């Protein structure tokens, strides 16, 4: 038995859930405080990563959690994720704007800069709204609620005392099978929701591999997550520009066309990376870890 597998054999499902929640709640508190103080997009991103990690692990091991407490925890975490989606989308778009400036006709720079100004205004308003809601008292109460759930001895069912090793391969394999099934329906004309759904599958797989410290296995999914992320970002940006383009500006329409062309290339990359052959390799990689 390898040292990594031996470690999994020493820990229970309960210890994984408790430790993951302990660390992610600490990170949520840290990055939330950092963001409220500095307004740095990276702090917001890390805050969201921490929330997503907690949600992903609790979802995959949900059968080991008491129903009512699990529901309360997911409700809180889901709301934290949802109310920061818009801010993150704006931050990502603003990061991309500079690159777009080099790809449009010089005559269209003014339109792009005007778009950038609108985004900056939306960002300011979204950040201000978030800051108004997340007072020190509200933040402290939120963290206290999460910590109370984490410390609750009734959060985990008795069967969670069983060895983590007994279940982890089955859980990761189950997620891979869902990925394989969803990937079969992927093509260039597939609805955007299919690409988004697959991205979430890969995120869940990666976060759970991270949680049990299968570092190399986890890293192998980063390129896939990034590829699907580009598709999601482009779709969001195209829809936002369309919303702004009430006067049917030819410049904004040219930017939409440019993003549309790049979106096709990004979708093709996703299809290739999530091919049947690559998914077989993922299964084989898992089999080498759990022979």
Output helix, strand, coil percentages for the chain, rounded to the nearest 5: 85, 0, 15
Q: What are phi and psi of 245, to 5 degrees?
A: -80, 60
Looking at every residue in the chain, the average pLDDT score rounds to 94
DSSP state of 12: B
- Residue range 12-113+126-163 forms a domain whose CATH class is mainly alpha
pTM of the model: 0.92
Q: How far apart are CA 41 and CA 35, in angstroms?
A: 8
Residues of the chain with CATH 1.20.120: 164-291
Q: Hey, what are 272's tokens?
A: 């290739």
Residues of the chain with CATH 1.40.20.10: 12-113+126-163
Q: Convert the pLDDT of each residue in 43-100 to its tens digit.
A: 999 999 999 999 999 999 999 999 999 999 999 999 999 999 999 999 999 999 988 8
Task: Calculate the CA 280 to chain-centre distance.
Answer: 24
Write down the pLDDT at residue 4. 67
Is 164-291 a CATH 1.20.120 domain? yes
């Amino acid at each position: 038995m390898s040292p990594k597998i031996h470690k999994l054999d020493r820990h229970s499902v309960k210890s994984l859930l408790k430790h993951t929640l302990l660390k992610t709640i600490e990170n949520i508190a840290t990055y939330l405080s950092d963001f409220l103080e500095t307004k740095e997009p990276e702090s917001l991103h890390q805050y969201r990563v921490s929330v997503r990690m907690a949600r992903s692990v609790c979802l995959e091991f949900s059968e080991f959690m008491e129903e009512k407490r699990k529901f309360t925890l997911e409700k809180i975490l889901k709301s934290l994720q949802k109310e920061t989606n818009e801010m993150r989308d704006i931050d990502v778009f603003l990061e991309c704007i500079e690159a777009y400036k080099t790809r449009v006709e010089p005559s269209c720079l003014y339109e792009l800069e005007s778009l950038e100004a609108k985004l900056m205004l939306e960002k300011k308003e979204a950040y201000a709204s978030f800051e108004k809601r997340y007072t020190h008292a509200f933040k402290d109460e939120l963290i206290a609620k999460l910590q109370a759930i984490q410390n609750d001895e009734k959060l985990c069912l008795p069967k969670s005392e069983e060895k983590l090793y007994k279940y982890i391969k089955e859980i990761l394999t189950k997620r891979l099978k869902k990925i394989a099934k969803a990937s079969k329906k992927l093509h260039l004309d597939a609805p955007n929701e299919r690409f988004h759904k697959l991205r979430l599958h890969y995120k869940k797989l990666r976060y759970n591999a991270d949680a049990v410290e299968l570092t190399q296995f986890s890293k192998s999914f980063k390129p896939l997550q990034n590829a699907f992320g580009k598709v999601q970002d482009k779709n969001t940006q195209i829809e936002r520009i369309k919303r702004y383009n009430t006067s049917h500006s030819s410049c904004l329409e040219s930017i939409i066309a440019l993003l549309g062309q790049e979106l096709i290339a990004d979708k093709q990359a996703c299809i290739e990376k999530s091919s049947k052959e690559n998914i077989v390799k993922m299964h084989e990689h898992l089999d080498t870890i759990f022979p």
